[in-house]
C-alpha cells in the first residue's frame, strides 16, 4: 500500500505557499499538449517548487509540510505524503491533496511500496499498482491509488524519510516524477540540515548566517543605494565574482542595461511604501560577460520604528529555463521543412514591419508567391521530390532577398515576402528576379502591393493575394503589382 489513515492539516503552510516568490503534469496525462511544451511547464513548476522548499522556515515540521505540498504541485498528483522511517513501521509526517490530514498515522512496512523504498533506499515508481506485487492491492483500491512515485530523503548520510506522490490514473506518474521528487528531496535535506544547525545555535546572527550560507539559491542583503552588503556563496557562484569583487560594486553595476530601469522602478515603489516587495525576471551580467537570467524576489527590511534599513533579495537562476522557452517559441514560429518563418511567425513579423514603417514614415511592400502547378509536380514525381523542391526554392530565395526583408512559407507551395522601404515597382523587379531560374523547370506566380498608412496586416495581405490570383488567371508564370489608390 501507499498509505492508510484519515484526512489534513497543512493550513500552516497555505499562506507561505501563496506568497509572492515562494509558490505538474505528467507526460502521459495530457496527450493534447506538445511534449516540449509540457517539459517546459514541468521545469517551471520544479524551479518554483525548489524555491518554495528552499525558502521554507527552517523548522522540520514546516519543511515536511511544504515539501509534501510542493511535490503534489510539481507532479500534478492527486496526493503527496512525507513518511519517516521508524524501523519496523512508518510514521506519516505531512500530507497534501487527497493525502492531506494523514500526519501521525503509522503504517506497516510490509506489502508497501513506501516500505520497499524505506528498506532499500532506492527510488521507485509504479505506473499501475494493480499489476505491482510490491503494493497492497486492497488498500490501494480503497484509497483510489492507481499509480505512484516514491523517493528516499537522505539526511546526514542516512535515509530518514520517504516522499511519495499518488494518482488515480494509470501511467500518470513515472521516471520524470521520480527525478523531480529527487531534486525536491535534495533541497529539503539541505533545509533540514539548516534546521538542525539553527536549533543548536543561540544567537539570531548565527541563525541568519547559517540560513544564508546553506541556501541553494542566491540570497543577498542590499543597501538602499544598491551596494551589496552581504551575499551567500550561491549568489557569488551565480554571477561569477569573489565576495570582495561583489561587495565593491552595486546591483546596478552588474544588472543588464535593458533591465535596469524596470528594477530601479520596483525599488522606488518599495522605498515609497507603494508595495512591500516585488518579483521580476531580469538579467545580471556574469563576470565573463554573458547574461544570466534570474528570478528576483526582493523585499524591504525596516527597523522597529519603521525606518528602511536594507533590501533582502532571493535570486534563482532561470537561464536554462529561459533558453528552453525561447527554443520552444522559435520552433513554434519556424517551418520545419524550409527553416523559414511559418505562417504564425510571418504574421508576427509583418506586424513588426508595419509598426516600423509607421514610425519611420517609410513605404512597405508585400508579395505573395506561389509555385505553379505544384500539385501536378507532386503527383508526377512524388511528395518527397516536392519537399526537396520547396526546400531548394526557399534556400535560393533566402540568399537573394535584400537585407532587412522577411521571407516566410505561408503553407503548401505559398510564400510571403516583406520588403521594407520599397516601392511597388522596385518590389515587382525584386520578385520577378526571384522567380527566374526555379529548379526543375518549375514556374512561379507572384502578387505585389504596397502598404497604405492606416490599414492593417489583413487588408494588406488581401490585396497582395488579389494580385497573385490575377497573375494566376492571366496564365501564371508572371508577377502582378497592384498600387493602392
Judgement on whether residues 257 and 228 belong to the same structural domain of the protein: yes
Domain count, the chain: 3
Q: Which residue, 296, 320, 344, sits at the end of a domain?
A: 320
Judgement on whether residues 22 and 162 belong to the same structural domain of the protein: yes
Residue 2 falls within a domain, yes or no? no
Residue 207 falls within a domain, yes or no? no
Residue 191 falls within a domain, yes or no? yes
Interatomic CA distance for residues 363 and 316, integer angstroms: 45
Interatomic CA distance for residues 126 and 137, integer angstroms: 12
Interatomic CA distance for residues 401 and 406, integer angstroms: 8
What is the pTM for the complete model shown? 0.42
Judgement on whether residues 175 and 45 belong to the same structural domain of the protein: yes
Judgement on whether residues 475 and 353 belong to the same structural domain of the protein: yes
Give the best-scoring range by mean pLDDT among 115-129, 205-219, 263-277. Answer: 263-277
Q: Which residue, 141, 171, 200, sits at the end of a domain?
A: 200
Residue 126 falls within a domain, yes or no? yes
Residue 326 falls within a domain, yes or no? no
Residue 409 falls within a domain, yes or no? yes
**How far is residue 382 CA from its own chain's centroid?**
40
Domain with 432 in it: 334-482
In three-state secondary structure terms, 297 is: strand
pLDDT band at 40 (very low <50, low <70, confident <90, very high): low
- Of residues 24 and 81, more confidence is placed in 81
Judgement on whether residues 64 and 141 belong to the same structural domain of the protein: yes
Judgement on whether residues 194 and 54 belong to the same structural domain of the protein: yes
Residue 103 pLDDT greater than 80, yes or no: no
| pLDDT given for residue 28 in this prediction | 32
Q: Which residue, 150, 174, 200, sits at the end of a domain?
A: 200
DSSP 199-262: HH--SHHHHHHHHHHH-SSEEEEE-TTSBEEEE-HHHHHHHT--HHHHHTSBHHHHB-HHHHHH
Q: Which of 24-43 are b and which e, b meaning 16 or more Cβ less than 10 Å from the residue's Cβ? A: bebbbbeeeeeeeebebebb
Residue 205 falls within a domain, yes or no? no
Judgement on whether residues 222 and 173 belong to the same structural domain of the protein: no
Mean pLDDT over the full length of the chain: 83
| pLDDT given for residue 20 in this prediction | 35
Residue 56 pLDDT greater than 70, yes or no: yes
Copy the grid coordinates of residue 351.
506586424
pLDDT band at 167 (very low <50, low <70, confident <90, very high): very high
pLDDT band at 168 (very low <50, low <70, confident <90, very high): very high
Judgement on whether residues 303 and 356 belong to the same structural domain of the protein: no
| pLDDT given for residue 248 in this prediction | 93
Q: What is the CATH number of the domain that holds 236?
A: 3.30.450.20
The predicted-structure confidence for 234-267, as pLDDT tens digits, reads as follows 999 999 999 999 999 999 999 999 999 999 999 9
Judgement on whether residues 360 and 447 belong to the same structural domain of the protein: yes
The predicted-structure confidence for 267-319, as pLDDT tens digits, reads as follows 999 999 998 899 999 999 999 999 999 999 999 998 888 889 999 999 999 88
Interatomic CA distance for residues 36 and 193, integer angstroms: 35
Q: What is the CATH number of the domain that holds 476?
A: 3.30.70.270
Judgement on whether residues 146 and 228 belong to the same structural domain of the protein: no
Judgement on whether residues 49 and 191 belong to the same structural domain of the protein: yes
Judgement on whether residues 238 and 276 belong to the same structural domain of the protein: yes
CA dihedral of 164, 167, 168, 171, whole degrees rounded to 10: -110
Residue 287 falls within a domain, yes or no? yes
Q: What is the CATH number of the domain that holds 189?
A: 3.30.450.40
Amino acid at each position: 500500500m501507499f498509505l492508510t489513515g484519515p484526512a489534513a492539516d497543512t493550513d500552516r503552510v497555505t499562506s507561505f505557499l501563496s506568497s509572492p516568490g515562494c509558490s505538474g503534469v505528467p507526460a502521459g496525462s495530457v496527450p493534447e499538449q506538445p511534449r516540449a511544451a509540457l517539459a517546459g511547464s514541468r521545469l517551471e513548476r520544479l524551479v518554483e517548487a525548489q524555491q518554495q522548499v528552499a525558502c521554507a522556515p527552517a523548522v522540520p515540521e514546516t519543511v515536511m509540510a511544504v515539501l509534501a505540498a510542493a511535490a503534489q504541485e510539481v507532479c500534478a498528483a492527486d496526493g503527496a505524503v512525507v513518511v519517516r522511517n521508524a524501523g519496523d513501521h512508518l510514521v506519516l509526517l505531512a500530507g497534501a491533496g487527497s493525502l492531506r490530514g494523514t500526519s501521525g498515522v503509522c503504517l506497516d512496512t510490509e506489502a508497501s511500496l513506501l516500505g520497499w523504498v524505506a528498506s532499500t533506499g532506492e527510488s521507485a515508481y509504479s505506473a499501475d499498482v494493480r499489476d505491482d506485487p510490491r503494493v497492497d492491492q486492497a488498500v490501494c483500491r480503497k484509497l483510489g491509488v492507481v499509480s505512484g512515485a516514491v523517493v528516499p530523503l537522505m539526511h546526514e548520510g542516512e535515509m530518514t524519510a520517504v516522499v511519495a506522490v499518488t494518482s488515480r490514473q494509470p501511467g500518470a506518474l513515472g521516471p520524470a516524477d521520480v527525478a523531480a521528487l529527487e531534486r525536491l528531496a535534495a533541497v529539503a535535506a539541505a533545509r533540514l540540515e539548516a534546521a538542525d544547525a539553527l536549533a543548536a545555535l543561540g544567537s539570531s546572527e548565527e541563525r541568519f548566517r547559517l540560513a544564508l550560507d546553506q541556501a541553494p539559491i542566491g540570497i543577498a542583503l542590499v543597501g538602499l543605494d544598491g551596494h551589496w552588503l552581504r551575499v551567500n556563496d550561491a549568489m557569488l557562484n551565480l554571477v561569477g565574482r569573489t565576495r570582495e569583487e561583489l561587495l565593491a560594486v552595486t546591483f546596478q553595476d552588474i544588472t543588464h542595461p535593458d533591465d535596469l530601469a524596470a528594477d530601479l522602478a520596483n525599488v522606488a515603489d518599495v522605498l515609497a511604501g507603494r508595495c512591500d516587495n516585488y518579483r521580476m525576471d531580469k538579467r545580471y551580467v556574469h563576470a565573463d560577460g554573458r547574461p544570466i537570467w534570474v528570478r528576483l524576489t526582493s523585499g524591504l527590511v525596516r527597523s522597529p520604528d519603521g525606518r528602511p534599513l536594507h533590501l533582502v533579495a532571493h535570486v534563482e537562476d532561470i537561464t536554462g529555463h529561459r533558453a528552453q522557452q525561447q527554443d520552444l517559441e522559435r520552433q513554434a514560429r519556424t517551418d520545419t521543412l524550409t527553416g523559414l518563418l511559418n505562417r504564425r511567425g510571418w504574421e508576427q513579423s509583418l506586424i513588426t514591419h508595419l509598426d516600423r514603417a509607421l514610425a519611420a514614415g517609410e513605404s512597405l511592400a508585400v508579395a505573395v508567391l506561389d509555385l505553379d502547378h505544384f500539385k501536378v509536380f507532386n503527383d508526377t514525381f512524388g511528395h518527397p521530390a516536392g519537399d526537396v523542391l520547396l526546400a531548394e526554392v526557399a534556400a535560393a530565395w533566402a540568399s537573394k532577398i535584400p537585407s532587412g526583408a522577411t521571407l516566410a512559407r505561408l503553407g503548401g507551395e505559398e510564400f510571403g515576402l516583406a520588403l521594407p522601404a520599397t516601392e511597388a515597382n522596385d518590389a515587382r523587379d525584386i520578385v520577378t528576379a526571384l522567380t527566374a531560374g526555379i529548379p526543375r523547370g518549375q514556374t512561379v506566380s507572384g502578387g505585389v502591393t504596397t502598404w497604405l498608412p492606416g490599414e492593417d496586416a489583413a487588408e494588406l495581405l488581401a490585396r497582395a493575394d488579389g494580385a497573385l490570383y490575377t497573375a494566376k488567371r492571366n496564365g501564371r508564370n508572371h508577377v502582378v503589382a497592384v498600387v493602392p489608390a
